[in-house]
Amino acid sequence: MYAWLDTLCQVNHGPDARFLSGLTFEALVRANFPGEDTEPAAELLCEIIFRHGPGELNALYVLDHIRRSGGLKGILSVIEDGGHDQKLRNGIHGLRSSLASQLPKDAIHLSSPVIKIMQKMSCLTETSSGEIWSSKQVIMAIPTTEYNTVTFEPPPSRKSFGRSDIHSWLDLTFTYDTPWWKESGLGGAGEADIGGDIYFPDVPDSDILQANMYPIHFWIRLNYTDSQDWLGKSAQEMEAE
């Protein structure tokens, strides 16, 4: 069953998408894998990933979640609290601290941005604090739009800079008294006309559910200019748009 789900989730946006949107995940499994073993497996799968039973979840929503997560193998790698459990217990900052702790003492210099890179027999890097470092190679971990803050000797060609596509993601959540999209035959995920993704969760988080609110989530990709314009708006202007 798991191999079949991995295959099906890759094509769930085809002609059968509307049909899958009208089914619960439980009904989908029963229709294709009738038997005593598959229903408990579906129950376990949904409890691990969503912390809800397969009879509560839309089939398209489950399949789309599996597809966007890279398949079942990656999702099931964390068992304790399912897909909502954070794999990095201490967060991204904990990962950074763990990596830094393995470096030699004094290998990290804070508040010392690079202002000049000179390439001769070796590569010399000068920082704003006045320190100069020699190395075989320098890795630039900043957007290409920030390269003008560094002086290069000799100056590189413009082509070597490339181009960074700077953008932001706008996360919007609308809440409703009733899940009207179910009555309209919608479920799973969709695409917004303005660019981005829409998610119709069948079962909201417990705190939202207790408030009798049903959410729709929008993730909208904005280019750099649009995102700066948006961030400059007041709350009233955002609400009006």
* DSSP secondary structure, the chain, as one string: -HHHHHHHTTSTTSTTHHHHHTSBHHHHHHHHS-STTHHHHHHHHHHHHTSS-GGGSBHHHHHHHHHHTTSHHHHTT--SSGGGS-SSTTHHHHHHHHHHHTSPTT---TT--EEEEEESSSEEEEETTS-EEEES-----S-GGGGGGSEEESPPPHHHH-----EEEEEEEEEESS-HHHHTT--EEEE-TTSEEEEE-SS--HHHHHTT-EEEEEEEEEEHHHHHHHHTS-HHHHHH-
Ranges under pLDDT 70 in the chain: 1-3, 6-7, 9-15, 36, 73-93, 159-170, 185-212, 220-233, 235, 238-241
* DSSP bridge partners of 217: 173, 199
Q: Is the peptide bond before 179 cis (omega within 30 degrees of 0)?
A: no
Torsion of Cα atoms, 36 then 41 then 46 then 51, to 10°: 90
What is residue 81's predicted lDDT score, i.e. its pLDDT? 46
Determine the pLDDT at residue 187. Answer: 64
Task: Please count the other Cβ atoms lying within 10 Å of the Cβ belonging to residue 207.
Answer: 8
pLDDT tens-place string over residues 124-172: 888 888 888 888 888 887 777 778 888 988 887 776 666 656 666 667 7
Residue 116: strand pairing partners: 126, 151
**pLDDT at res. 2:** 64
Residue-range domains of the chain with CATH:
2-84 (1.10.405.10), 109-161 (no CATH), 167-240 (no CATH)
Quick one: how far is CA 78 from the chain centroid? 17
Q: Which two tokens stand for residue 72?
A: 């079942």
Instruction: Please list the residues that pair with 215 across neighbouring strands.
Output: 175
* Residue 120 to residue 143: CA distance in whole angstroms: 24
Residue 63: count of CB within 10 angstroms of its CB: 25
Residue reference for tokens 């010392």 = 112
